[in-house]
A and B are shown apart, each in its own frame.
Chain A
Amino acid sequence: GAVVSQHPSWVICKSGTSVKIECRSLDFQATTMFWYRQFPKQSLMLMATSNEGSKATYEQGVEKDKFLINHASLTLSTLTVTSAHPEDSSFYICSARGQVVGNSPLHFGNGTRLTVT
Chain B
Amino acid sequence: AQSVTQPDIHITVSEGASLELRCNYSYGATPYLFWYVQSPGQGLQLLLKYFSGDTLVQGIKGFEAEFKRSQSSFNLRKPSVHWSDAAEYFCAVGGAGNTGKLIFGQGTTLQVKP
Q: What is the interface size of chain B, counting residues whose CB is below 8 A from a CB of the partner?
A: 24
Q: Which residues of B contact A46 (CB under 8 A)?
A: 101-103
- Distance of A109 Cα from B45 Cα, bound (Å): 9
Do B49 and A110 touch (CB < 8 A)?
no
Please give 12 more A-B residue pairs, beta carbons under 8 A apart, in addition to A42-B107, A49-B100, A49-B101: A43-B90, A44-B102, A46-B103, A97-B100, A102-B51, A103-B51, A103-B96, A103-B97, A106-B102, A110-B43, A111-B41, A111-B43
Q: Is A25 an interface residue (CB 8 A)?
A: no
CB proximity of B22 to chain A, nearest CB, Å: 15
Proximity string of chain A (71-114) to chain B, C-beta cutoff 8 Å, 1 when within and 0 when not? 00000000000000000000101010100101101111111010
Q: Which residues of B contact A110 (CB under 8 A)?
A: 42-43
- Most chain A Cβ neighbours within 10 Å, of B36, B46, B100, B105: B100
CB proximity of B31 to chain A, nearest CB, Å: 12
Q: Which residues of B contact A6 (CB under 8 A)?
A: 43
Could you count the A-B residue pairs with CB atoms below 8 Å apart for me: how many are there?
Answer: 58
Q: Is A34 an interface residue (CB 8 A)?
A: yes
- Distance of A46 Cα from B43 Cα, bound (Å): 14
Chain B residues within CB distance 8 Å of chain A: 32, 34, 36, 41-46, 49, 51, 90, 96-107
Do A93 and B44 touch (CB < 8 A)?
yes
The prevalent SS among residues of B at the interface is: loop
- Distance of A113 Cα from B40 Cα, bound (Å): 11
Q: Which residues of A contact B103 (CB under 8 A)?
A: 46
Look across to chain B and name the residue whose beta carbon is closest to the beta carbon of A97.
Answer: B100
Do A100 and B43 touch (CB < 8 A)?
no
Do A44 and B49 touch (CB < 8 A)?
no
Task: With A43-B105, A43-B107, A44-B90 as known contacts, state yes or no: A106 contacts B100, CB within 8 Å.
Answer: yes
Q: Which residues of B contact A111 (CB under 8 A)?
A: 41-43
